Amino acid sequence: MTVSLEVAGLVVDLPGRDGPVRVVDEVSFDIAPATTVGLIGESGSGKTMTANAVIDLLPDGARTGGALRWQGEDLLQVSASRRRRVRGHEIAMIFQDPLAALNPTQTVGRQVGEILRRAGRPSDEVRRRVLELLDRTGIPEPATRSRNYPHEFSGGMRQRAMIALALAGSPALLLADEPTTALDVTVQARILRLLRDIQEDEGLAMLLVSHDLRVVNHVAHQVVVMYAGRVAERGPTAALLSKPAHPYTRALVDSVPAVRTRTALAHPLPGTPATPANRPSGCAFHPRCPIARELCRTEQPAVREVGAGRWTACHFAEELVG
């Protein structure tokens, strides 16, 4: 299997009041071409920071370590200008709140076409491509809508425009940071379907960051579960969700309300999420873990393979998988 992005031991430190805080700690996973990886975790788990590190949009003062091998080239080692040229043209990003992420003073068409215009494409070609992209992302009457401003669009339409904007540079990897969280429930499914269709049609690699297991289940081929800045578990979506090999994943699965069955109540996760600044000793999940033992308090579990493509950071994964 070829790899388009290899995240290897990625570390992100953010400046904090009492020195740097490690928000992403030795995170490793691969994204193969034409596959979607779902990156899941509670807020503060480091999932968004991981995506920001990939596209180099970390906050000021952030420091990185490890490697981000993009088609063989370590993005953490290349020059700033090479890094900038990767943005948009090879790796693009969709943001959570499309209203805030679009410039209020520019028409949608102008913003979608900007990357092409800056690349020196002739204006009639840019225009044709913009209309094509708006049409592809399901925006009706592209010619009229391209002249509208973001505030004249509905929430779902804005996110479609945002997707068109991200696709304009013909990227090979699309990062989607909670792309449906800010949208109405009825619109969420449609945007997810659009993302999945585009990913399949264009053969894109996609990293979908979400706190919502159902979203990831819909779209992702592989899942990476993060907890307190580290990888808890990763593996193929169906296997991982049906037979979690980490108690945190199992707790996440149990916390999703089953819509069809009226009897079973969802089990919310006990306790509060560990934060990177306030990480418990040993396995960070142990204070909330139903199967924690003494070992979990003292020793941080390494990420190890527990079956075909399944990796977990739990000392007692075998007890879960059976």
CB closer to another protein out of 28 and 71: 71
How many whole angstroms separate alpha carbon 49 and alpha carbon 177?
10
Q: C-beta of 83: minimal distance to another protein in Å?
A: 9
Q: C-beta of 320: minimal distance to another protein in Å?
A: 38
Q: Which of residues 77-96 bind another protein (CB under 8 A)?
A: 84-89, 92-93, 95
Q: Which of residues 164-223 bind another protein (CB under 8 A)?
A: 165-166, 169
Tell me if 120 contacts another protein by CB under 8 A.
no
Tell me if 121 contacts another protein by CB under 8 A.
no
3-state SS class at 26: strand
H or E element, residue 304: strand 304-305
Q: C-beta of 72: minimal distance to another protein in Å?
A: 20
* Unique residue bearing structure tokens 């995506």: 51
Q: C-beta of 317: minimal distance to another protein in Å?
A: 37
Tell me if 97 contacts another protein by CB under 8 A.
yes
Contacts of 138 (CB under 8 A, 6+ apart): 160, 190, 194
CB atoms within 10 A of CB 313: 24
Q: C-beta of 290: minimal distance to another protein in Å?
A: 39
Q: C-beta of 109: minimal distance to another protein in Å?
A: 13
Contacts of 195 (CB under 8 A, 6+ apart): 163, 174, 176, 179, 206, 208, 219
CB closer to another protein out of 168 and 231: 168
Tell me if 53 contacts another protein by CB under 8 A.
no
How many whole angstroms separate alpha carbon 315 and alpha carbon 194?
39
Contacts of 73 (CB under 8 A, 6+ apart): none
CA atoms within 13 Å, Cβ hemisphere of 52: 20
Report which DSSP code applies to 286.
G
Tell me if 108 contacts another protein by CB under 8 A.
no
Tell me if 125 contacts another protein by CB under 8 A.
no
**Interaction site with another protein (CB under 8 A):** 55, 57, 84-89, 92-93, 95, 97, 100-106, 111, 114-115, 118, 149, 151-152, 162, 165-166, 169
